[in-house]
Structure formats: structure tokens, C-alpha cells
Chains A and B, each alone.
Chain A
Amino acid sequence: MAKELPLKFDANGKLDPNFIEEWGVNQTRTWLESRLRGIDRWVPIDVRLGEDPEALVIGILRDIGAAHPSFQVLSKAILNLLDKANREAPKWPDYMDSLLHICQQIRLPETGPWFTDEIRLLAQDPTAREAHWGGYERVSEIIFGAVVQSPGLPSAASRKAWQSLLSQPRFATLGLLGVSHSFEDQVAHLATWWDAVPISDRQREVNQIIFTALKSEGEDQTISMLRAGATQLPTDLQNAIDQALNDQQARKAFVRRGSHCAAFHRAGFTREALERQTA
């Protein structure tokens, strides 16, 4: 029986991440599985304040970065646990929610193919995949992980599957997150998403997309990108976007048909040009 190596701390009381490399994949997996189930002999979990067991693991991964040998050991241990859960499905192991929370926050290249497979199988037959995992909620947790681990970049193996999910009402928003990696990307896919997503979710999601765009791109750039994609966006989506902009105290992006500006807009004048002329 292999001797258990202890966890190490440095002189400042911080965890020395080299312990994971020394542990190797097997002991790391054993520790990780136990910790994510809520039991950790090395670093006890504060049950009183509802400490997330995965928070420590996320902290370690962020501290060391992807180039550190311990990062790869942890990634492989995480992949082993994902495989184990897949074999045991539809039983949902105690550690699975916490394990997926790690995957939803930190890019772990070793797990990419696992999530790509999941997205592909889900796009092929959503009902079968939901039955395999034991329900929609569990599948959507896996897809939240896939958004980070297997993004649908134009050249990615997962691209087609993400595009397929974008058209399925229950997965449309997750599909949008999978295929778009910038606000410009989102604008390009908004019309497809809008058609598929349940009406009750539409305004809420648009509000958030616009809130983030205004923060990251600024008002001018956001409106400029929205106008550039305006021809693809149906009127009710344009209204929803303008509503969200208005809620954020930003100016509206779209000129309405029937408004005084519409004829000028159709004639090729931009709103900015009109405003300059008016001024």
C-alpha cells in the first residue's frame, strides 16, 4: 500500500502547490473526490459558512497557472472523476456539482475532449442525453462547463454542435454562450437565438448582454456594433435591445420605421450624421 504523502505549506502559511505533483494523479484524485464530497482531512471545510469545497481547488489552479506540472496533475484527476461520473450515470455522484463548478470557472485543456463529446451527443439527441444524466438540470450544468472547456470557436470540433443547440429552445442561451466569444459574435447570433429562446427568458438575457457590452465596449462601440448588425435583427429584438439600453441610461440603437428619422435612415443617413446636421 503506497504511503500517503502529506500536504505542504510554505513559510508564509500558504499551500505549497508542489504537493500535488508529488502526490500524482491517483492520490490527487482521491483527495479531490473526498474534498468535493465535503470531507478533507488536510484542509477542513467550513461547513458553517457554506464554504464551497471547490473554492480551494480553484484558488490553487489560479495560483499556479496552466504551465505548472501540478496543474496538469489536477486536470487529469478532474478528468478521471468526470469519466467515473459518466460510467456511473444516471447516478449523480456527491462530488459532481462541485467538480463542474471548477470546470465552469477554470480552463482545463485535458477536459476539452470530454466536454466536446458531451456537446456532440447532446446535439445529436437531447432526450437521450438527458435520460443518460438524469435530467435537464444536470445536463445544463455540464453545458455550462462545456462553454469554458470546449468553446465553439470557428475552427473548433464543437462548433457544429453548439450551433445546433442555439436553435433548440431549452438550450438556446447556452448555445449562444458556446458559439459567441465577444459581443460582436453575440450580435451575429442574436437573431437565431431570439427565434429559439422561450419568450419569458428573452428580455432578461438581452438586459444582461447589453449591461455587459456597455461595461466592456462602452456605449458608442456597443451601439455601433448593434447598428452594424441591425439588418439581421427582427424588430421585436431591436425593441428589446433599445429597452435594455434605456434601462442602463444609454441612448437607443435603432431607428424605428415610421419615425421621423426612418426615411433619412433608409436613404442612407446615419443617426450620428443626422444629429450633427440638427446641431
Chain B
Amino acid sequence: MPTKLYASATDTISDADKKSLAACERWLRRQTRKPSGTSCDGRQIADNIRDESHLCEGGDPPDPQLLAGFLKDWCARHAAAKRDRERCDCFSLVCKTYAARGKPIPVDHLPPGLLRYTTSRAAVAQMVERILGKVARKQFETGAMSAEDAFARMAVAWDSNRLTDRGRLARPSDSFTWATFEHVPGTPRDNARGMADALAHPVLITLTASSDEILYELSYPRDAVRDHRFPTIADAEWFHLFKPAPECKPDVAKPETCWGWTRSQNGQPAQPEIMHSNEPLGVLDAPPRFLGRLS
């Protein structure tokens, strides 16, 4: 059952666009993992689009124009694409265009400290270079220094003033990033696999035997970042395990309505999920915390 926002958005588009949208959706639902095929679940992504209720600037009832724009833009690009690869790129491009445009979250709905969990070794290498030096970075990248040693040594030598603007909470090319915060008792914060499940992280080890994926936590003040928003299907792009926030009016008395929630796996508790501006690593208020290996 589509959300009211989705229904309102499709009501605003022309009959021709509605026909195109149906074609887009049929194509997306075919993008499913097969023994010899792609590894995303297009059916779930298509369902998520129908479940979207926060790709809007606000309003009561929420204004459907932004979601309608997303759908129309997708249809137009999709129709112009001739090859499957181009159609995939179109979907990615439309998502990027409408990324970080979810409904704003009032700052006072959020706790003072935010957390970001990431697997990025590139970001660790940046921090290692700034905190421990170039020799350490090379040793970390080539495996001569373990991730455990790198995090332990950074914790001892930590000085966030040494970090430059080059290192950021997310990839430097991204203007926004995903975050969470401590909210749910029983969250396995010291267990990498458990936390990956709580965050709905599809562990890459199923794809290559040699992957050496780590998970670590970045901690920073809520007020050191800007533009807190609900995450949407545009932010999630091809990530089918994303779960659109439920369609209800935010109410501080009901925290489940104030931000997004992860589609947690294997019985772990779902975690709060928000977006905010991608800031330099200098905002960190503690050394990065190593949770462990995912492989």
C-alpha cells in the first residue's frame, strides 16, 4: 500500500508520466540478484519508493512536489536511456539529485551527541597519516600495522587539531552523511557483527573471500554538524535494506516518529537513522573507536 505522499505525488504527474513510471518500476523490479546477475534487490527498492513519506520539505499535509519531481525526473531520464547500464546510471543520478532533501529534523529532537559507524579504511588511513604520520599510514595500508594497533595508537596520540579538512565524516565527494545515536538499550556497541546487523549492513564478505572489512565508530557533537534530516530513498540509492521512515507526524513524545530507523537484521534492535552535512573529521570529540572485524 503506497504512502499518502506517494499517492499525492503520482496524482500530480501526467498520464504519460504515469505510464513511464510503471515502466520504470517494472524495470527496477527486474534488477534482482540471480546466480549470474546483479546483487541488488530491485523489488525491495521499488517497494521502498512506494513507502517513501519524507522526501519533502515539510508542510501539513506534506507537500508532494519533491517526490513528484523525483519520479518525473526518473521517468524522463529512463526513457532517454538506451542500454541497461544507462538506465542504472539514470536511477543513480536521479537519487544523487534528490539526495539530502528529506524532511528537516528540528535539532532539539536529537540528543547532544551523534555517532557514525563506518567501514571506510580510506578514512582510517587519512586519520592515521595525520595523527601517527606517513610511515604509519603506509604500514596500515600494506597490512604491516594491524587495524587494532592503528586504533590503539591513535587513541594514545589523539589530537583532533592535527586533522585537516581533507578527511571528512563521509567520502569527500559527498555533501551529506548518515548518522545514528545512542537510543536503544541492548544495542551491541562493542560487537562489530552485531552492530553491522543492527545497522543493516550487508557484509561484503559474502562477495570476496579476502575482504578484510572493519567497523568503527566516530563520535561528535550534534551541533558541530548542520542540516539534520530524515533519510529517504534518494539517499539510499541502490541500498535495498534501507527502510523508509513511517508516515506519521513527528511527535517528541513518540521518538519512533522523529527520525528514520534501520531495517535491522538477525534480531538486533533497529537503530535511529538520520542525515546531516558532511563535515571535516576535526569535529570528532573522541578518537575513533574500533569495534572489530566483519570478516
Interface, chain A (partner B; CB < 8 A): 1, 4, 6-9, 11, 13-15, 30, 34, 38-52, 54-56, 58-60, 62-63, 94, 97-98, 101, 104-105, 137, 144, 147-148, 173-174, 176-177, 201, 204-205, 207-209, 211-212, 215-216
Q: Which chain A residues lie closer than 8 Å to B117 at the CB level?
A: 49
Closest 5 CB pairs of A and B: A59-B208, A44-B238, A62-B210, A41-B88, A59-B211
- Chain B residues near A9: list those with CB within 8 A: 33, 35-37, 39, 207
Near A by CB (< 8 A), chain B positions 197-229 give 199, 201-202, 204, 206-211, 213, 215
Contact partner of B141 (CB less than 8 A), chosen from A8, A43, A48, A105, is A105
The answer for the CA separation of A174 and B133 in the assembled complex, in Å, is: 11
**Closest A residue to B86 using CB positions:** A41
A207 CA to B145 CA, complexed, in Å: 13
Are A201 and B204 neighbours in the complex by a CB distance under 8 Å? Answer: no
- Within the complex, the shortest CB–CB distance from B135 to chain A, in Å, comes to 4
A51 interface neighbour in B119, B139, B206, B273, Cβ under 8 Å: B119
Instruction: Pick the contact of A46: B37, B202, B209 (CB < 8 A).
Output: B202
| Selected A-B contacts with CB under 8 Å, 22 pairs | A4-B83, A6-B37, A7-B38, A7-B39, A9-B37, A15-B207, A38-B173, A44-B39, A49-B119, A49-B199, A51-B120, A55-B119, A56-B204, A56-B208, A97-B172, A101-B141, A104-B141, A105-B141, A204-B133, A205-B135, A208-B135, A208-B139
Judged by a CB distance under 8 angstroms, whether B105 is at the interface is no
Q: Among residues 80 to 112 in chain B, which have CB atoms less than 8 Å away from a CB atom of chain A?
A: 83-85, 88-89, 92
A13 to B212, CA, bound (A): 17
Most B-side CB within 10 Å, residue of A14, A56, A59, A208: A208
Asked if B144 is at the interface of the complex by the 8 Å CB criterion, the answer is yes
Chain B residue nearest in CB terms to A39: B92
Give the CA-CA distance A146 to B173 in the complex, in Å.
24
List 18 additional contacts besides A4-B84, A51-B119; criterion CB under 8 Å.
Answer: A1-B83, A14-B208, A38-B92, A44-B40, A47-B235, A48-B231, A49-B117, A49-B119, A51-B120, A51-B204, A58-B211, A59-B210, A97-B172, A101-B122, A105-B142, A207-B133, A208-B136, A211-B153
A44-B237, A50-B120 known; A63-B210 Cβ under 8 A:
yes
Q: Are A49 and B201 in contact (CB under 8 A)?
A: yes
Separation of A104 and B122 alpha carbons in the complex (Å): 11
Q: Judging by beta carbons under 8 Å apart, are B118 and A177 in contact?
A: no
Q: How far is the CA of A209 from the CA of B39 in the complex (A)?
A: 43
Q: Which residues of A contact B285 (CB under 8 A)?
A: none
The answer to whether B173 and A48 have CB atoms under 8 Å apart is no
